[in-house]
Amino acid sequence: MNGSKDLQALTLSVVLLALFLGGWQLAVGGSGTAPQMDPEYAALMGATAKGGSALPTPFDIAKEMWRHISDPFYDKGPNDKGIGIQLAYSLARVLIGYFIAAAVAIPLGFLIGMSPLFYKALDPFIQILKPISPLAWMPLALYTIKDSGVSSVFVIFICSIWPMLLNTAFGVASVRRDWLNVAKTLEVGRLRTAFRVILPAAAPTIMTGMRISIAIAWLVIVAAEMLVGGTGVGYFVWNEWNNLSITNVICAILFIGLVGMVLDQALYQFSKLVTYSE
Amino acid sequence: MDPNNLIAVEGLARSFPGPKGAEPVTVFEDLWFAAARGEFVCLIGHSGCGKSTILNILAGIDQPSEGAVIVDGKEATGPSLDRAVVFQSHALMPWMTTIQNIAFAVRSRWPEWPRAKIREHCQTYIDMVHLTGAEDKKPAHLSGGMRQRVGIARALAIEPRIMLLDEPFSALDALTRGSLQDEVLDICAKTNQTTFMITHDIDEALLLADRILLMTNGPRARIAEIVVNTLPKGRTRTDMHRHDNYYPLRNHLIEFLVRRSEALREMVLDVDPRKPPVVFPRADCSAQTPAVVHGATA
Ligand SMILES: Nc1ncnc2c1ncn2[C@@H]1O[C@H](COP(=O)(O)OP(=O)(O)O)[C@@H](O)[C@H]1O
Ligand SMILES: [Mg+2]
């Protein structure tokens, strides 16, 4: 029953993909020649614009993807590194910034959630800091930290802290009174209540915050690396754009999407461990 | 003070701040009652008269505005493992299995016990409430009756001196409620457990309680009357209604809930709140005037 539904969905996915790729191939790889192009655009594209369309066909992409996958870790100087190396740089920055943010946000969120006083006191700061685009911190970070890699990590830290902080505070503040009362009547100490009652009760809400944060961090790292350059998948995209290699830009887009999906799925699997049904 | 009383309240009152600007609402005031060792006391009153608030104060999770709770001669100001609570909404931790829920309580009581001993102790109480086989199920996979059984086992497992139950069976269907009442009756008889229970089910009170406290409606609710259960010990759910005293008792309670709980709100002000009238509804008295002993503490 369910299996046949899955099969139908899979078939439909494959059909949609085939239609999309077919349409792409027709639009790009057909007999289209330079005169079809906007003259200014053709001029902009320069040498690559000779002959057919400048946009690669799906087949070009597949070939290029294969080239990247078969040799992801080569290193031929600062402007030519394998996609695997670039992704690893980005991932490392994201994970470092993200885990530092979690280490700050979860305990702080606990405090805010448990204490109305702290909540009131910290609320104005959170309200002002939260809506700031993380990239707006970049100049300040570069000026104070003086290292582009660490600055990117800082930007990731700043953007991933808010969802985790707010979700933790909300989850902790909305733990059912009944459960806290059970702990009270059993004379359970504060620390044991925090770890055995409040933490598991709030865990699903905290995990939701962590999933939102990792998604935002992965979105932001690309922009941050475009800005500061050097290494990382964001820099790779920008560099390939400067090289006018649209094929590589599209490959990078696909890799970014894949890694983002893996990150989200990993946290999703983890969140399944802590969810409970009432 | 009667040394037989294990738990007593003296001049208890609780008021809550009124809605913005309004003056505080006194839910109940001037409550005096007690439960002797091994006694089963029920509290009956209409919804909103403050029964749960009283139970929370007895449990130490709420503080009275006035008055005190005395446990074994000493004032109790906070929660204690001496007083176990069975909550109306079971209050089981949904991420813990049956045995983990109970073990959480047992470990709180005896932190020094080794794992195996805790497990064994939990199993005793799981078997006592007939949940054998459901040890490793989470509350979401248990029926309403089974969840409430876990709640009862958790309370019993810490071997409290007093059990406090807040309408523990009100959310259950009649059949399940009946069998749980039988189990509670059985356990209390075996362990001579001192118990204080809130209910609005008259038959439940008559089956379980030695004494029934009747509360007037709120706000400013009081204890209007104390009804002594004149049914013999060893009664069961199936035979108690055959006893001659059953209908006088039942009618007295229904009459109270339907009419007098409201009317008495005014009249009760003349009565000494420390010594509410004690009544013994019996078949040998005429139905309209059950025996009333003013000022006696049964
Ligand atoms: N925390 C609170 N703040 C304000 N009013 C409350 C609070 N808790 C209970 N009350 C009020 O006290 C009254 C008694 O509540 P409760 O003890 O739950 O009644 P019962 O259990 O008899 O139905 C209700 O009218 C309720 O509105
Ligand atoms: Mg209630």
Segment B118-173, tens digit of pLDDT: 999 999 999 999 999 999 999 999 999 999 999 999 999 999 999 999 999 888 88
Least confident of A93-97, A140-144, B247-251, B261-265: B261-265
Task: Name the residue facing B79 among A184, A196, A277 (closest C-beta).
Answer: A184
Least confident of A179-183, A207-211, B260-264: B260-264
Q: What is the pLDDT of residues A246-269, one digit of tens each?
A: 999 999 999 999 999 999 999 999
Q: What is the mean pLDDT of residues B280-294?
A: 63
The shortest C-alpha distance from B221 to chain A (Å) reads: 25
* Residue B270, token pair as written in the block: 């003349």
Task: Name the residue facing B93 among A185, A197, A277 (closest C-beta).
Answer: A197
Q: Which residue is closest to A278 within chain B, CA to CA?
A: B140
Q: Which residues of B touch A187 (CB under 8 A)?
A: 79-81, 108
What pLDDT does residue A258 have? 95
Ligand nearest to the CA of B50: 1
Q: Which residues of B touch A203 (CB under 8 A)?
A: 95
Q: Is the CB of B63 under 6 A from ligand 1?
A: no
Residue A278 to residue B139, Cβ atoms within 8 A: yes
CB neighbour list of residue B157: distance below 8 Å, 6 or more residues apart: B102, B105, B106, B109, B121, B122, B124, B125
**Looking at the complex, does the CB of residue A201 fall below 8 Å from at least one CB of chain B?**
yes
The shortest C-alpha distance from A213 to chain B (Å) reads: 25
Q: Which residues of A touch B109 (CB under 8 A)?
A: 186
Q: Which residues of B touch A (CB under 8 A)?
A: 56, 59-61, 79-81, 83-85, 87, 89, 91, 93-95, 104-105, 108-109, 138-140, 158
Residue A276 to residue B138, Cβ atoms within 8 A: yes
- Look at ligand 1, atom 10, and give the residue with the nearest C-alpha: B16
Phi, psi (degrees; rounded to nearest 5) at B8: -145, 150
Provide the whole-model pTM.
0.86
**pLDDT > 90? residue A196:** yes
Q: Is the CB of B16 under 6 A from ligand 1?
A: yes
Ligand nearest to the CA of B45: 1
Report CA A237 to chain centroid distance, whole Å. 15
Distance B220 CA to ligand 1 centre (A): 12
The shortest C-alpha distance from A276 to chain B (Å) reads: 5
Residue A201 to residue B89, Cβ atoms within 8 A: no
* Separation between Cα atoms, residue A65 and residue A250, nearest integer Å: 9
- Look at ligand 1, atom 7, and give the residue with the nearest C-alpha: B16
What pLDDT does residue B298 have? 39
Q: Which residues of A touch B95 (CB under 8 A)?
A: 200-201, 203, 274, 276
Residue B94 to residue A277, Cβ atoms within 8 A: yes
**pLDDT > 50? residue B297:** no
Question: For residue B89, which amino acid is it?
Answer: S
Q: Is the CB of B4 under 6 A from ligand 1?
A: no
Residue A186 to residue B104, Cβ atoms within 8 A: yes
The shortest C-alpha distance from A186 to chain B (Å) reads: 5
**DSSP of chain B, one letter per residue?**
--TTEEEEEEEEEEEEPPSTTSPPEEEEEEEEEEEETT-EEEEE--TTSSHHHHHHHHHTSS--SEEEEEETTEEE-S--TTEEEE-TT----TTS-HHHHHHHHHHHH-TTS-HHHHHHHHHHHHHHTT-TT-TT--GGGS-HHHHHHHHHHHHHHT--SEEEEESTTTTS-HHHHHHHHHHHHHHHHHHT-EEEEEES-HHHHHHH-SEEEEE--SSSB-EEEEEE--SPTT--TTTGGGSTTHHHHHHHHHHIIIIIHHHHHHHGGGS-TTS--EEE--TTS-TTS-EEETT---
CB B12 within 8 Å of CB B57:
yes
CB neighbour list of residue A110: distance below 8 Å, 6 or more residues apart: A168, A169, A172, A194, A198
Q: What is the mean pLDDT of residues A85-100?
A: 95
Q: Is the CB of B221 under 6 A from ligand 1?
A: no
Q: What is the mean pLDDT of chain B?
A: 89
Q: What is the pLDDT of residues A2-28, one digit of tens each?
A: 778 999 999 999 999 999 999 998 888
Q: Which residue is closest to B83 within chain A, CA to CA?
A: A185
What pLDDT does residue B291 have? 55
Q: What is the pLDDT of residues B5-32, one digit of tens each?
A: 899 999 999 999 988 878 899 999 999 9
Distance A216 CA to ligand 2 centre (A): 45
- Look at ligand 1, atom 1, and give the residue with the nearest C-alpha: B16
CB B215 within 8 Å of CB B43:
yes
Report CA A227 to chain centroid distance, whole Å. 17
Task: Name the residue facing A187 among B80, B87, B139 (closest C-beta).
Answer: B80
Q: Is the CB of B31 under 6 A from ligand 1?
A: no
Q: What is the pLDDT of residues B77-128, one digit of tens each?
A: 999 999 999 998 889 999 999 999 999 999 999 999 999 999 999 999 999 9
What pLDDT does residue A230 have? 87
Residue from B95, B138, B163 whose CB has the most chain A CBs within 10 Å, to mutate = B95
Residue A184 to residue B60, Cβ atoms within 8 A: yes
